[in-house]
Amino acid sequence: MWTDTRPAAELPRLFEKGADVISLAGGLPDLDVLPLGDISQQLARLVRLGGKLALQYTTPHVAKALVPAVADLMAREDGHADAGNLIPTSGSQMGLTAVALALGTPGDTILVQTPAYPGATAAFRTAGLDLHAAGEDADGLCPQQLRTTVRELRAAGRTVRLLYVNPTFQNPTGATLSVPRRAEILTACRELDLLLIEDNPYGLLGFDGTTTTLFQALDPQQVVYLGTFSKIFAPGLRSGWIAAPEHLRYDLARVAEIISLSPSALAQGALAAYYSRSGWTELIDRYRDSYRERCTLMADALDAELGADSPWTWQRPGGGFYLWLRHRDGADATRYAQAAAAHGVSFVPGGHFSIDGEHNDGLRLCFSNVPRKKITEAVTRLAAALTETPAVARELAEVSG
Amino acid sequence: MNQSQFDQLVERICSVQVTDSETPLVDLGVDSLHTIALVMAVEEEFGIEVDPDALADPALASPAGLFRYVQAWAADAAPARV
């Protein structure tokens, strides 16, 4: 299989846990906030009353019953959804693959905001696309650099039609692009005839409830939006959506149907029933509270353990799942990963988020699923690994085998 | 609860406008999965258990028909509660 020749398309094994290791690696939501008793009763009702429907194949559409639930979520960030612009996915990972297959041609170049979610870059590579970093300045993805990069690539004979961004509480940095910057980027996209792929799993997880207007809200014709229920409900239902401009809807729907045949009617029914009964506000607030608390615990522990003199720097995010540390002198975080494992903690080295070997000076800590009582201990272990000199770190890693 | 209040429940759960209680749900724009979600909400609201086979009865497939079913269930169940 030709994708076997591209090892970078493999996803890191983030969700595995060792017996004595506190994982700060995988981006799992905190499902303790789910009202499992209520969901259990609803699933039982759904199967009893509509099992022959919910367990059957269905049509490749976002069910009418689910459209108001999607529209509600998108409206919270000023976005727009209706039955006519939605395509069902089994989560944004499928959405990324569908977008790459439907809107790209093998050999095309896709511009990517980096550091980038490895699942996205893997999906793009698997679809045969070449990746190129979109330039950044102090305010994030830079429209002027975008213009320069696209013109240079096109002058070199490359086809460039797509720009991928994860604009709110970005994985892995936690950064959010401002609305004025989004508008400037969209102006550049229109000039350059670039479609913007907006991947937004974390946008509603601002710790204080703050939301940021979607690219899709600013220009629905220039944006293909990827939404998911994985972070505001649960990833186990494998359910999400693409909100697409009308002229792209057919191509995206056709590829989505090829990938999955149809969405899960059971998952769509469960989500629709939950939304009809409870709405989203209470559950999203519970997620926000959980992540605010965990992030504060982790950032406070980092302040206490690493201190202001540390070569590792970070900013407290306003939402999402992640803290992004960078080494002032550019040390390779991979060199500390084994030492961290020897101390009983894991993280994702920044190189996992690169498209061409960059970002090795970064590391991602995920606070969303660490038990609260283990966060301080995890950071103590991490600090012990990070404050060792690389030579000691290497020796420790070798001893630990 | 009267029919008008029941229609409001249908409107809230199904995101449609009930212009006539006797209009079939499908003609109001309520598809099959949404009908299930509605019946789930009705069960919870009224503390009843709807017979899944009864859902195939066209007589139930309107806000008025579903409300008659709920009332009949309540009438049947009432003596048992005394």
The reported pLDDT for the residue numbered A312 is: 95
Task: Please say if the pLDDT value at position A34 is more than 50.
Answer: yes
**How many residues are there in chain B?**
82
Task: Please say if the pLDDT value at position B56 is more than 90.
Answer: no
Cα(A193)–Cα(A96) distance, rounded to whole angstroms? 20
Same domain, A18 and A96: no
Lowest mean pLDDT among A17-21, A86-90, A197-201, A277-281: A17-21
Nearest to A50 among B29, B36, B44 (CB): B36
Task: Please say if the pLDDT value at position A183 is more than 90.
Answer: yes
Give the pLDDT band (50/70/90) at residue A7.
very low
The reported pLDDT for the residue numbered B82 is: 38
CATH of residue A85: 3.40.640.10
* Residue B48 burial class via C-beta count within 10 angstroms: exposed 0-12, middle 13-18, buried 19 and up: middle
In a domain, residue B56? The reply is: yes
| Percentage of the residues of chain A whose pLDDT score is greater than 90 | 89
Q: Which residues contact A265 (CB under 8 A, 6 or more apart)?
A: A53, A54, A55, A56, A57, A58, A63, B33
Q: How many domains does chain B have?
A: 1
Q: Which residues contact A70 (CB under 8 A, 6 or more apart)?
A: A62, A81, A86, A227, A241, A243
Instruction: Of A280, A316, A262, A229, give the one whose Cα is nearest residue A61.
Output: A262
Same domain, A102 and A249: yes
Query: From B29, which residue of chain A is nearest by alpha-carbon distance?
Result: A64
Q: Decide which of A220, A246, A280 is a domain's last residue.
A: A280
Query: From B39, which residue of chain A is nearest by alpha-carbon distance?
Result: A49
Neighbour tally for B52: CB within 10 Å: 15
Nearest to A46 among B12, B32, B40 (CB): B40
Backbone φ/ψ region at A289: left (φ over 0), alpha (ψ -120 to 50), beta: alpha
| Percentage of the residues of chain A whose pLDDT score is greater than 70 | 92
Q: Hey, is the C-beta of B52 within 8 angstroms of any chain A C-beta? A: yes
The minimum CA-CA distance between A110 and chain B, rounded to whole Å, is: 38
- Please report, for residues A122, A303, A311, A390, the alpha-carbon distance to residue A340 in angstroms, rounded to integers and kept in the order given: 26, 18, 16, 12
**Which residue segment(s) compose the domain that B18 sits in?**
3-77
DSSP code per residue over A343-386: HTEE-EEGGGG-SSS--TTEEEEE-TTS-HHHHHHHHHHHHHHH
Q: Is A113 helix (H, G, I), strand (E, B) or coil?
A: strand
Cα(A28)–Cα(A371) distance, rounded to whole angstroms? 12
Cα(A72)–Cα(A229) distance, rounded to whole angstroms? 12
Cα(A165)–Cα(A149) distance, rounded to whole angstroms? 16
Residue of A39, A41, A45, A62 to mutate, testing the B interface (most B Cβ within 10 Å of its Cβ): A45
Same domain, A175 and A301: no
Q: Which has more confidence, A244 or B75?
A: A244
Cα(A80)–Cα(A70) distance, rounded to whole angstroms? 9
Task: Please say if the pLDDT value at position A389 is more than 90.
Answer: no
Same domain, A85 and A206: yes
Query: From A66, which residue of chain B is nearest by alpha-carbon distance?
Result: B34
Q: Hey, is the C-beta of B57 within 8 angstroms of any chain A C-beta? A: no
Chain segment A100-155, per-residue pLDDT in tens: 999 999 999 999 999 999 999 999 999 999 999 999 999 999 999 999 999 999 99
CATH of residue B17: 1.10.1200.10
Task: Please say if the pLDDT value at position B77 is more than 80.
Answer: no
Phi and psi dihedrals of B48, rounded to 5? -115, 170
Chain segment A231-288, per-residue pLDDT in tens: 999 999 999 999 999 999 999 999 999 999 999 999 999 999 999 999 999 999 999 9
The reported pLDDT for the residue numbered B58 is: 84
**Which residue segment(s) compose the domain that A369 sits in?**
6-33+282-400
Task: Please say if the pLDDT value at position B75 is more than 50.
Answer: yes
Are the CB atoms for A95 and A242 separated by under 8 Å? yes
DSSP code per residue over A78-89: T----GGGEEEE
Q: Does B34 contact A64 at a Cβ distance shorter than 8 Å?
A: yes
Same domain, A70 and A193: yes
How high does pLDDT run on average in chain A? 93
The reported pLDDT for the residue numbered B57 is: 86
Q: How many domains does chain A have?
A: 2
Q: Which residues in chain B are closer than 8 Å to A67, comparing Cβ atoms?
A: 15
- Report the complex ipTM: 0.91
Cα(A226)–Cα(A241) distance, rounded to whole angstroms? 6
Q: Is A387 helix (H, G, I), strand (E, B) or coil?
A: coil
In a domain, residue B82? The reply is: no
Q: Does B31 contact A63 at a Cβ distance shorter than 8 Å?
A: yes
Give the tokens for residue B48: 């009843």
Same domain, A287 and A273: no
Q: Which residues in chain B are closer than 8 Å to A265, comparing Cβ atoms?
A: 33
Q: Which residues in chain B are closer than 8 Å to A273, comparing Cβ atoms?
A: 36-37, 40-41
In a domain, residue A177? The reply is: yes
How high does pLDDT run on average in chain B? 89
Q: Does A53 contact B33 at a Cβ distance shorter than 8 Å?
A: yes
Chain segment A66-95, per-residue pLDDT in tens: 999 999 999 999 999 999 999 999 999 999
Give the tokens for residue A229: 């229920």
Cα(A383)–Cα(A15) distance, rounded to whole angstroms? 22
Q: Does B36 contact A46 at a Cβ distance shorter than 8 Å?
A: yes
Q: Is A226 helix (H, G, I), strand (E, B) or coil?
A: strand
CATH of residue A305: 3.90.1150.10
Are the CB atoms for A224 and A253 separated by under 8 Å? no
Q: How many CB pairs under 8 A join A and B?
A: 63
Task: Please say if the pLDDT value at position A187 is more than 80.
Answer: yes
